[in-house]
Structure 1
Amino acid sequence: MRLFVAVALACGLLAVPSVAHAKPAAAVTPAAAKKLDIADITPMGQDKEKVGVGFPIIVTFDRDVQDKAAVEALLQVQSERPVDGAWRWVSARKVIYRTKFYWKPHQKVTFTAQLSKLPGNESVKDVTQRFAVGPANISVVDTRKHVMRVTRDGKLAKKIPISAGKGGLVKNGVDVYLTTSGIHLAMNKKPVETMTSSWLGVTDPKDPRYYKEEIPWAVRISDSGEYVHQSAGYYHFLGRSNQSHGCVRATPAGAKWFYGIAQRGDVIKITGTKRKLDWNNGWSYWQLNWTEWKKGSALPR
């Protein structure tokens, strides 16, 4: 390889180019192709939790999926008591499995991802995760009669007086103080949850709409901030009228009992309000009928 020293004029003399020999440059190798792997699987496996009969399988990949059909074909779900199911892509990295009907209770469900069969992805380890389905906890909240009826494996277990959203605060055409009607799923739970008015944009304690409260026995049922929880006082409204900001308030004994049996994926169906639950608000995937749900699959129908 010939390197030339720069030519320059100095005192009327022309500098003579010199020649140098350098070592050959090292060969440049292309960067290794990025492998597709799984970043997260929800819910957790059988050793960590039991799930409700409405539970979805949520798979999040570590990068955008380019060929969704090829990847979806490598995802398998098998249950001890079979039921039809289908995947729906909700983003370039996330796909969700839902069944046509609720899972049968008291069984095991096995999810397998054979990503090593994807061309160019052979070095990635296949993944298997088994889920344990618990009792069929299905609750129906009647916001007009102010009661929640909870069945376990088809038998009425408890009737709990409740108070739902009072309504009356419209933002962008939506009454955000109304509880959403539709099929919710329990997403998580905390023995004490801090609830504030920040979701309203209210953070000034002097604002009459401001609140910050520590609420016991909170079971979350949507991304928009709805819970089933113990009423923070106001017990005289339970079973009689709707006075909350959108949550389902229950009696102390009823809320504690409900918290104790709650599993992620339990079904909570709320009726009686004019505000409809959106299918993508939390785990509200049962809001789509089966035909609509299957349209989200990348595989030919």
Structure 2
Amino acid sequence: MARRIGCIEEFEFKVVGGNHNQGRLAVGILVSGLVIDVEDFIRPWEGHYDNLERYALWWESKNLIALSTAIRDWLTSRVALQLMKQGAMMTVLSTLVAALALPATLITASDLIDSKWAIAVDRSDKAGKLLAEVLLKGLQGNRPVTLIGFSLGARVIFKCLHCLADAKGDNAGLVERVVLLGAPVSIKDENWEEARKMVAGRFVNAYSTTDWTLGIIFRASLLSQGLAGIQPVDVPGIENVDVTEIIEGHYSYLWATKHILEQLELDYYYPYFRSTFSKPQEEKAL
């Protein structure tokens, strides 16, 4: 219980790329939320070039790695493998979208990861509050900020936006752009309109309709209706981008994030992205 309600133990920013100390006007804060090892806080963001002074958020590595290990153990368990053979996993996505009951077998199977997921969700919400405090104090030098995150990193950003909305004063200009990738954020139970008001420019929700791993974990633990990581968010001003062609499973975000960002063309203020997302050429060759 102490671990469930404890304070954040790890929260710091790491430099990414070479656009530092060059008088850059904009700041990018990049948040990983699925971490197999500590390198995954930095690795998914390397090799993508833009006009931002970029920083990766390094947060709660012990809890995130424990969660990732539990997910992998579950995916290789006898029950999970049998469900995969039966094609039962895809029923998760239809039940999430239609707000139907999740099959009891899948809820039972997810017990292996439920406690670690609950801890990680709690810490991501607290990390979002800390990130909002960083922005409110102007530690980014009062420059426009772009926030990009995948998995629980996307949830950190979403909670940050809500904290900005709840804070005193007009904070709508602090965040210029937001990209959420595979966000474990409920559509029905969260105020997306308030989050959108905190973003001056583009607000992108990238989702994969085949990400049943996220669907099982999220629905079994929080029992929410609708999930941004696997379906569109019907809120004015939010760009919904279907990346199913790239993201075959939740772990795909670890190596596909750079490719998605390149196709989003974030430097354009207005929505601009290729009509059909495609896998990188090297993956096609494989």
Class of the TM-score when normalised by the shorter of the 2 chains:
under 0.3
Q: What TM-score do the two structures reach when normalised by structure 1? A: 0.24
Structure with more strand by fraction: 1
Q: What TM-score do the two structures reach when normalised by structure 2? A: 0.25
Structure with more helix by fraction: 2
